């Protein structure tokens, strides 16, 4: 409730609870419950031993909480033929994530910067069209892309999946940065030209330092998008580089005998940890970045 109060203007508001306010809080409470309940169930289940889970008391707190399931999920759960836990997938995902995020932001900001200088009539319509393209379901492109990559001799590899993520991130990244750079006064660019800076110097020394909020937004968008990806990783990464999401699926679906709910839950939570951390850690930056894009620099 204090968090909600922060968004109210500084001017004094009536602190009395009127019916509308009750309704609002009830709505917020129910919504929060709706989203938090599954998370709660997952956390408590992951901390229970199987004996306790079998009693079927879904909402009960664990009587003897233990992190055994977490350890097992991390180090020894079976993901198909090997049984080394989900950590393999975690490190695969990190190896895919870091270069993909870095390269897609680098390329996207550079193309966005170049396009922001291109101020012709109809440019906005063109970029609107680009945004639409960004929303075409990418399943449509998978088969052609598989052909293109095998033709180019790249096949399935870490490099392939990084290129794929860069390509699919490009429209969004380009537009994000183009719109930000286009909102800056042209005179800034002119001043830098008079100072003798070239295209890349202006990009690196003036434009990018100003675009920090945009970079944060881009990192959040790309990190969560790439981390959560399943199908592209499955198709393009190759056997040795399968991302965490794919490994998680293998753990959950390849159990023999009794289903180890606690391990499944722990593995799922481990997989969700990074996007969760990103959201919690950067929510404020995210809002600030969006706002910085909306007003003139």
39, 193, 279, 290: which one contacts another protein (CB under 8 A)?
193
CB of 130 to another protein, least distance (A): 23
CB of 212 to another protein, least distance (A): 8
SS (H, E, C) the chain: CHHHHHCCCCCCCCCCCCHHHHHHHHHHHHHHHHHHHHHHHHHHHHCCCHHHHHCCCCCCCCCCCCCHHHHHHHHCCCECCECCCCHHHHHHHHHHHHHHHHHHHHHHHHHHHHHHCCCCCCHHHHHHHHHHHHCCCCHHHHHHHHHHHHHCCCCCCHHHHHHHHHHHHHHHHHHHHHHHHHCCCHHHHHHHHHCCCCHHHHHHHHHHHHCHHHHHHHHHHHHHHHHHCCHHHHHHCCHHHCCHHHHHHHHHHCCCCCCCHHHHHHHHHHHHHHHHHHHHHHHHHHHHHHHHHHCCC
- Contact call for residue 188 and another protein (CB under 8 A): yes
- Contact call for residue 190 and another protein (CB under 8 A): yes
Hey, which residues does 82 pair with through a beta bridge?
79
**Based on CB atoms, which residue is closest to another protein, 168 or 181?**
181
**Based on CB atoms, which residue is closest to another protein, 202 or 252?**
202
- Contact call for residue 123 and another protein (CB under 8 A): no
CB of 131 to another protein, least distance (A): 26
**Based on CB atoms, which residue is closest to another protein, 204 or 278?**
204
- Contact call for residue 185 and another protein (CB under 8 A): yes
**Based on CB atoms, which residue is closest to another protein, 207 or 260?**
207
User: How far is Cα 154 from Cα 162, in angstroms, rounded to an integer?
Assistant: 12
Cβ of 104: how many Cβ atoms within 10 Å? 26
Stretch that binds another protein, among 38-46, 57-65, 93-101, 185-193 (CB under 8 A): 185-193
**Based on CB atoms, which residue is closest to another protein, 192 or 278?**
192
**Based on CB atoms, which residue is closest to another protein, 43 or 192?**
192
> Which residue in 240, 251, 118, 128 sits closest to 181, CA to CA?
118
CB of 188 to another protein, least distance (A): 5
CB of 117 to another protein, least distance (A): 12
CB of 120 to another protein, least distance (A): 9
**Based on CB atoms, which residue is closest to another protein, 233 or 289?**
289
Contact code string over 200-219 relative to another protein, x by CB under 8 A: -x---xx--xx---------
Contact code string over 68-87 relative to another protein, x by CB under 8 A: --------------------
Site for another protein, rule CB under 8 A: 185, 187-188, 190-197, 201, 205-206, 209-210, 297
């Amino acid at each position: 409730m204090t968090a909600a109060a922060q968004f109210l203007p500084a001017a004094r508001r009536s602190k009395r609870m009127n019916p509308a306010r009750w309704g609002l809080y009830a709505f917020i409470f129910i919504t929060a419950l709706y989203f938090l309940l599954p998370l709660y169930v997952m956390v408590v289940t992951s901390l229970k031993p199987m004996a306790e889970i079998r009693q079927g008391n879904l909402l009960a707190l664990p009587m003897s909480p233990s992190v055994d399931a977490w350890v097992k999920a991390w180090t020894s759960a079976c993901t198909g033929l090997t049984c080394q836990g989900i950590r393999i997938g975690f490190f695969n995902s990190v190896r895919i994530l870091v270069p993909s995020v870095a390269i897609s932001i680098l390329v996207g900001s550079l193309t966005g910067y170049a396009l922001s200088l291109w101020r012709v009539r109809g440019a906005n319509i063109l970029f609107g069209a680009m945004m639409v393209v960004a929303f075409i379901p990418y399943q449509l492109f998978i088969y052609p892309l598989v052909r293109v990559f095998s033709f180019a001799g790249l096949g399935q590899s870490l490099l392939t999946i990084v290129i794929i993520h860069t390509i699919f991130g490009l429209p969004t990244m380009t537009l994000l940065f183009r719109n930000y750079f286009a909102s800056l006064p042209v005179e800034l660019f002119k001043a830098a030209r008079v100072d003798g800076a070239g295209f890349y110097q202006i990009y690196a020394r003036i434009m990018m330092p100003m675009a920090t909020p945009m970079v944060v937004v881009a990192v959040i968008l790309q990190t969560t998008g790439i981390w959560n990806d399943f199908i592209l990783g499955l198709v393009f990464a190759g056997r040795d580089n399968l991302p965490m999401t794919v490994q998680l699926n293998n753990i959950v679906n390849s159990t023999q005998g009794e289903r180890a709910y606690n391990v499944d839950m722990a593995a799922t939570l481990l997989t969700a940890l990074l996007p969760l951390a990103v959201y919690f850690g950067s929510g404020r930056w995210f809002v600030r970045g969006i706002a910085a894009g909306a007003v003139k620099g």
